[in-house]
Amino acid sequence: MSTLAPSPPSTPSPPRARLAAGWTRAWSGRRRWPLVSIAGATLAAALVLLPLAFLVVQAQKSGLGEVRHLLLRHSVAVLLWNTIRLALACTVLCALLGVAAAWCVERTTLPARRLWAVALVLPLGVPDFVVGFGWVSIDPALHGYLAAVMIMTLALYPLVYLPVASALANLDAGLEEAARSLGLGPWRTFWRVTLRQIRPAVLGGCLLVTLGLLAEYGAFEIVQYQTFTVAIFTEFKLGFDTVAACVLSLVLVALSIAALGGELTLTGRARSSRPAGPGARRVAPRVALGRLAAPVLAGLGALSGLALGVPLGSLVYWMARGSSTTLPSASILAAAGHTAAYSAAAAALATLLAVPVSALAMRHRNRVTVLIERLAYLPMALPGLVVALGLVSFSVRYAFSLYQSALELIVAYAILFLPLAVVGVRSAMGQSSARLEEVGRSLGARPSAVWRRVTLPLIAPGLGAAFALVFISAATELTATLLLHPTGVNTLATQFWAYTSELSYGAAAPYAALMVAISAVPAYLLSRRMSTLANTGRAA
């Protein structure tokens, strides 16, 4: 508990009193504006707690003996180790790839930057099944740990790339210039100044990769690499044992709490080194690539070729070969409309919820606000099936009129992908200086005006990154969609799944292609916004 506090109180007080004090501090005193934030953050916390409550209620039904039998198995230990070593290796590789790619796109004179900015995000919009099929067609013998590390890294590096790219676009170059003028070389400036400024974005992205991999089933689907989620799915899908599945899922919660604590310790340090930036942001000059242009282009080309080209290649192959190929009809357009509408609504909702969660944690930091922010990450580490069944269980009891409605599906997406939104918003909040808001207030502006005219423009790139990440992830989501979608409404993901499960790959391919195309829209809008930002040098 004490790791959650930025500055532990000098005299120990009972936890409940400390929590109460946190609340009081959060909404009283000079800065009254967070009342809206508190309401929003409370709603976010309540939504996130729904699936967790489901897990705990179910797991409680098992006896100690059963828990021991479930957890103390040789196979469980092996699966846990598989999960942990996959998560560690992929997180490190995603961090390297994501930061390097983002730096090349946002800080160098790379040709066709706008194109790269979209292509580098798109692997997130390709369904696992397509990725798997692409790789199996290239090398059917591909399996095991190294294959899983490679394929999952290629699938997940956008989770680091996007927040980091948006942080780099929003960067104040004044500090780098100061560092250079004080005699620091380019590399040391990068390590000691640039990286520090983007650290919340890097660490946030890494957190998403780690948590996402804890709940990952794709590695198994793609290269038969067995992770802990395989044990959970076995209990659900072959044993129909909800209790056992929930007991096992709690292990994932425990693991993610460890990851969340670790990241908090690291960002805690980053926060303290956050500079109180000047009012006028200076545009970062782009580094001329010169003779390095060719190798950098080759590197990015290889990355996109592997991460995006391989799966798209299998789609082209299906369309060319499959006899079930049909021309896109009205139904595919309707499915695309539903996917776009649900994903955009979910992205808007998740981003809206992420703002108060991040704002409180960054601007009104205390035990409660940090706890809520940490809670908001937990759904990332839960299999989609757990979150969806939690919502089923809750809504049939307490909100039956919402059951299997569009609203419920949108809320489910927002819960599942809230962590993605929080990372985007949080890193932008960390970059924008709280001092500017204080200046606004001292000049007599109302809190709402400060929010609209100072904070919002400063964090806009982060909001865009949050929206794009959630939108793309929701567009390919399948499990919660199948359980919660309104009866009679199809989405691209459900139709793609229906066709592939009948081996009608030719008919399935256009649905997957449209999923990727739809995901390109927010990625494109975001890249346009970021290049405007980088060129004008103004945050608004």
Partner 1 sequence: MNRGKLPLLGAVLASCTLALSACGSSTHGGSAITVYNGQHEQTTAALVAAFERQTGIKVNVRTGDEAELGNQILQEGSSSPADVFYTENTPVLEALREKGLLAPVASSTLAAVPSRYDSEQGDWVGVSARVSVLVYNTSQIKPAELPGSILELAGPKWKGRVGFAPSETDFQPLITAIVRLDGLATAERWLKGLQANSKTYPDNETVVAQVNNGESAVGLINHYYWFRLRAEIGAGAMHSALHYYAPGSPGDLVNVSGAAILKSSPHRAAAQKFLAFLVSRTGQETIAHSHSYEYPLRPGVAPAPGLRPFAELQPAPLTPAELGDGAMALALEQKLGLL
Nearer Cβ to partner 1, position 313 or 486? 486
Comparison of 203 and 345: residue with beta carbon closer to partner 1: 345
Q: Contact region for partner 1 (CB under 8 A) — 81-89, 172-180, 199-207, 342-350?
A: 342-350
Nearer to partner 1, 344 or 472 (CB): 344
Secondary structure string (H, E, C) spanning 458-472: HHHHHHHHHHHHHHH
Considering only CA atoms, which of 336, 344, 361, 342 is closest in space to residue 525? 344
Integer Cα distance of 340 and 81 in angstroms = 38
Rule CB under 8 A: which of 400-429 touch partner 1?
A: 400, 403-407, 410
Which of the residues 240 through 259 are near partner 1 (CB under 8 A)? 240, 242
Give the separation between CA 160 and CA 205, rounded to whole angstroms. Answer: 4
With tokens 């532990």, the residue in question is: 8
Q: Which stretch binds partner 1 (CB under 8 A): 5-13, 171-179, 279-287, 487-495?
A: 487-495
Pick the binder of partner 1 from 136, 195, 293, 445 (CB under 8 A): 136
Q: Work out which of 323, 329, 443, 444 binds partner 1, going by CB under 8 A.
A: 323
Q: Give the long-range contacts of residues 436-443, CB within 8 A, separation 24 or more.
A: 436/279, 437/363, 439/279, 441/31
* Cβ closest to partner 1, residue 476 vs residue 500: 500
The answer to whether the CB of 326 falls within 8 A of the CB of 124 is: no
Q: Minimum Å distance from CB 316 to partner 1?
A: 15
Q: What are the structure tokens assigned to 95, written together?
A: 């961090």
Stretch that binds partner 1, among 27-35, 132-140, 156-164, 246-254 (CB under 8 A): 132-140
State the number of binding residues for partner 1 (CB under 8 A): 80
Q: How far is the CB of 500 from partner 1 (least distance, A)?
A: 7
CB of 94 to partner 1, least distance (A): 24
For residue 344, state whether it binds partner 1 (rule: CB under 8 A): yes
267 belongs to the binding site for partner 1 (CB under 8 A):
no
Would you say 18 or 528 has its CB closer to partner 1?
528
- CA dist., res. 224 & res. 199, Å (int): 34
- What Cα–Cα distance (Å) separates residue 413 from each residue in 11, 410, 461, 489? 42, 5, 22, 16
Binding partner 1 by CB under 8 A: which of 494, 509, 516, 518?
494
When asked if residue 108 is in the footprint of partner 1 (CB under 8 A), the reply is no
Is the Cα dihedral 488, 489, 494, 496 positive or negative? Answer: positive
Distance in Å, CB of 322 to partner 1, minimum: 6
Two structure tokens written together for 274: 């956050």
> Is residue 287 classed as helix, strand or coil in its secondary structure?
strand
When binding is defined by CB under 8 A, the residue of 57, 280, 320, 540 that contacts partner 1 is 540
DSSP 323: T
Residue 106 half-sphere exposure, CB side, CA atoms within 13 Å?
33
Q: Segment 447-466, which members bind partner 1 (CB under 8 A)?
A: 460, 463-464
Nearest to 428 by CA among 216, 136, 169, 243: 169
Closest distance to partner 1 from the beta carbon of 382 (Å): 15
- Decide whether 44 or 97 has the Cβ nearer to partner 1: 44
Could you write out the DSSP letters of every residue in 492-521?
HHHHHHHHHTTT-HHHHHHHHHHHHHHHHH
